[in-house]
Structures are given as C-alpha cells and as structure tokens.
Structure 1
Amino acid sequence: MIELITFNEFLGRLAQTFDASTIEAVKGPTSLYGGLILGLLFGIVLQKARLCKYDIVSGLFRLQDFTVFRVGTPILMVSVVLIFIFKDTGVFELHVPKTVIVPQIIGGLLFGAGIAIMGYCPGTAAGALGEGSLDAIPSILGMISGAVLYAEFFHDSWENTFLKWGAVGGKTFFEILNINHWYLIVLFLLMLTMFLIATTMFDIFIVFLRRTFNLFMELTDALEEKVPPATKPYAVSTLETVRKFRQNLRDLFK
C-alpha cells in the first residue's frame, strides 16, 4: 500500500537537510569541498572528451561511436591501480558495497535502457546542461523524479524482499578466490587493454569502409560524366546498373 507523506513531514525532512548540524557533519577532509573539486575535474574531462553530446552517448548503443569506451577504459585502468596502491599504503580503507545479484542486474538493465533512450547518464546530463543543451533538462528531471518515487514508495516495502534476492555480501573476487589482489588486477588490465585495442581497430575499420564508399561514389560520378548516354547507347544499361548499385550502398551506409 502506497502511503503519501504529509506536507509537514516533507518540510521537516527539508529542514533536516539544511540544518546547521547536518551541514557541519559533512565538513573536513572528506567533505563536499573535495567532492566539488573532483566534480569540476570530472566535468572538464567529460567536456573535453565530448561525452556531454547526445550523439556520442547514443552512438555507443547503436555501435557507431566508441568514444565512451576509449575515454572510460583508460580512466578505469588508472583508477583501479591508484585505489589499490592507496589501500596497500594505508592512505584509506576500502569499503566494498554489498552485492545483491537480482536487483542489481535488473537495475543495471533499466539504467542502461534509460541512458540509451535519453542519450545521457547522470554525469553527462549535468555536463550537457552546463554546455547549454536544453534537452538535458527532461533527463535530469526524470532522474530526480525516479529517485524520489523509488525512495518514497518502493524502497521500504522491498528492503526485506526483492532487495535481498541473491545477496552474497560485501566480498571481493580476491577474497572469494583467496589470492593476492594484484594478480587479478594485472589480468583485468590486460583484458581492458585488449578491449581498448579492439574498439579502436573497429573504428579504424568503419572509417576505412566509409572512405572506400566515398571513393567509389566519386569514381562512378566521373564515369557518368565521361560516358554520355546520347553518344554511347550501350552505356545506358551499365550506368543504370551503377546508379542502382550506388543507391543500395547509400541505403546500407545510412
């Protein structure tokens, strides 16, 4: 049964959010200041990599643009190495979130479908809005609305049912396999390197096909100009065949 909160309860939650003690609790070395700085740096990377463009993100799901992979894969590789170097040197502790297989798989599929439809993820949507892309506004509003609806109407009722399906705890692969984490990290880095090479080669292959197609179009255009049908009647059928072939190629590469 869905229960709506009262207006007074809503105002109470809002007051707690902006209460002086709440704001004071987030100050310090792990405060919002650090998040602000990291957010600015992350936004610069997104903007410079052109990941705040709708065509770039949506092109990933159409298998037409792998810029997201080419930018995200090196960032992931560097992040994994730095995180475990800091962990091993005692700079910070690693707190692994709990793994719950069923809701995380379903949530991941819904999240991916939302990105494919909107053309933005939460980070790129904020970056796109900063660039002045107004189509990011419905995306941001939708994300906020979805989070509020889930938190208010579904989380509490699912906490002991759906959100427990497939719970395996906060264990890592290193703990499950009982091996040194650097062995798996090196293997993971090799896999990411091969993946990065594969996506780059795929882009090169697509560019080669497009250039070959454009060259063929230019050659057939030159053939039509050099062989007038009026003086060489036998060329009419040949040119008509070429025109049909070119149109089929254009339809294929649309």
Structure 2
Amino acid sequence: MNAPFFKFDYFNTDVSLIFAFIIGIAFGIALERGGFGRATILAAQFYFTNMRVLKVMFTAIVTAMLGLFYLSVIGFLDLSLIYLTTTNMLPMVVGGLVAGVGFVIGGYCPGTSMVAVATGKIDAMVYVLGMMFGIFVFGEMFPSIESFFNSSEMGSVTLPQYFNMSYGLVVFLVVLMALGAFAAAEWGERKMAAKKSEANP
C-alpha cells in the first residue's frame, strides 16, 4: 500500500495544506470555467431546464469512486485509512433539505458562491453574507439543538457496510444510477425545451 500519502507520512500537515490550497484554487477555476459561478446555472437545475450541475458533479463523483475502487483493488490505496465523518442520519437529512432550499433561493452552493465572489458578482456577495449570518445563528442556537445535532448516530459507515454488499457491487449500482440520472436529465431538458418553445412559438 502506498496511499493515502498523508497517512503513510509522505508529507506533513503543512505540506498537505499547501496541496489543499492548490487543489482548491484549481477547483475554483474549473467551476468558473464550467459556468458554475452564475446563479442561473444552479437555479436552472431545480427547474429542469439546465441539468449541467447534476451531470458534472455526478461525473466527478463516479470518476473519483471508480478511481478509489480500482486503486484499492490493485493494492495501491488502503480504503480503511481514508477519513470518514460519522453519519447522523436525521440531522443530515434535515440539514440537506435546509441547504437545498438555500441553493434554490440563492442560486449558489457554498463553493460556487465563493467562486462568484472572486469574480465580483454582487448577488454572490449578498449570498455569502447571508451564509455567514446563518453560521452565526447556528452557532448561537447550537446549545439548544445539540441533542438533535448528535442524534441518530450511525458511526463512520459506508454504503457497502450499510447495505451489507460488496464494494464492487455498490460501485456497479452507483454507475448504473449515474447513467440513469444522465438519461433522465437529458429527457427532462428536452421536455422543458419543448414546453418553452410551445409557449413562445
């Protein structure tokens, strides 16, 4: 086994932060070049008029998943050493719904909002201010919701562990799900485009 590199002491924490900074900058550039620094792109996702976000992000997830899986199969990567956060199902579901509403209303996610701020978009600046205010409110409220925040803890669990399936089978099913999502996205875009053309002949 040779990876994760940090776990095998190929570099220290300071170097890892430098790598994180470089990767973060590269990711931000990729988001901007992909058009994700515009609120209309993410908002269009929820109206099924432009499914670019789903296609790009799902492609990234599947690519990373396949890479990790095959690197582990050939013995290069030890998956057991990859850090996983604990799963608290109910708080995560509620948090995901709240975040999703914020995405629809604001047209950004935290990452794309920072990219948009870097390019000088005023709406993104307002969004980030609102996000910071939300973080402040959450911090102030945390003592009263701490029990809920820590509820339904499942530990650091993965999909293969949760469903008692092999990693290979889960990888295969996720790939199938991605292909289905891509096909559905294409179908939805065509339907919405046809409806728009009918409304504006």
TM surpasses 0.5: yes
Distance (whole Å) between structure 2 residues aligned to residue 86 and residue 141 of structure 1 = 41
Distance (whole Å) between structure 2 residues aligned to residue 102 and residue 210 of structure 1 = 38
Distance (whole Å) between structure 1 residues aligned to residue 83 and residue 62 of structure 2 = 19
- Report 1:35-54 matches (<5 A): 35-54=20-39
Are the aligned partners of 2:89 and 2:152 in contact in 1 as well (CA < 8 Å)? yes
- Report 1:133-152 matches (<5 A): 133-151=121-139
Residue 159 of structure 2 is aligned to residue 173 of structure 1 = yes
Distance (whole Å) between structure 1 residues aligned to residue 41 and residue 162 of structure 2 = 37
- Report 1:1-254 matches (<5 A): 26-28=13-15, 30-31=16-17, 33-88=18-73, 89-90=76-77, 93-151=81-139, 153-159=140-146, 161-210=147-196, 213=198, 249-250=199-200
The verdict on how the C-alpha distance between 1:150 and 1:193 changes in structure 2, with shifts beyond 3 A counting, is: same
Distance (whole Å) between structure 2 residues aligned to residue 37 and residue 196 of structure 1 = 30
User: What's the TM-score, normalizing by structure 2?
Assistant: 0.82
The verdict on how the C-alpha distance between 1:210 and 1:106 changes in structure 2, with shifts beyond 3 A counting, is: closer
Report which stretch shifted further, 37-46 or 104-113. Answer: 37-46
- Cα distance, 1:210 vs structure 2: 4.6
- Cα distance, 1:207 vs structure 2: 3.4
- Cα distance, 1:26 vs structure 2: 4.2
- Cα distance, 1:55 vs structure 2: 1.1
- Cα distance, 1:98 vs structure 2: 1.2
The verdict on how the C-alpha distance between 1:177 and 1:102 changes in structure 2, with shifts beyond 3 A counting, is: closer
Q: Supply the AA of the counterpart residue of 1:68.
A: V
Aligned residue pairs total: 187
Report which stretch shifted further, 136-145 or 79-88. Answer: 79-88
Q: Paired residue for 1:233?
A: none
User: What's the TM-score, normalizing by structure 1?
Assistant: 0.66
- Cα distance, 1:122 vs structure 2: 0.7
Instruction: Structure 1 unaligned segments of length 5 or more: list them.
Output: 1-24, 214-248
Distance (whole Å) between structure 1 residues aligned to residue 165 and residue 195 of structure 2 = 45
Which one has the largest radius of gyration? 1
Instruction: Structure 2 unaligned segments of length 5 or more: list them.
Output: 1-11
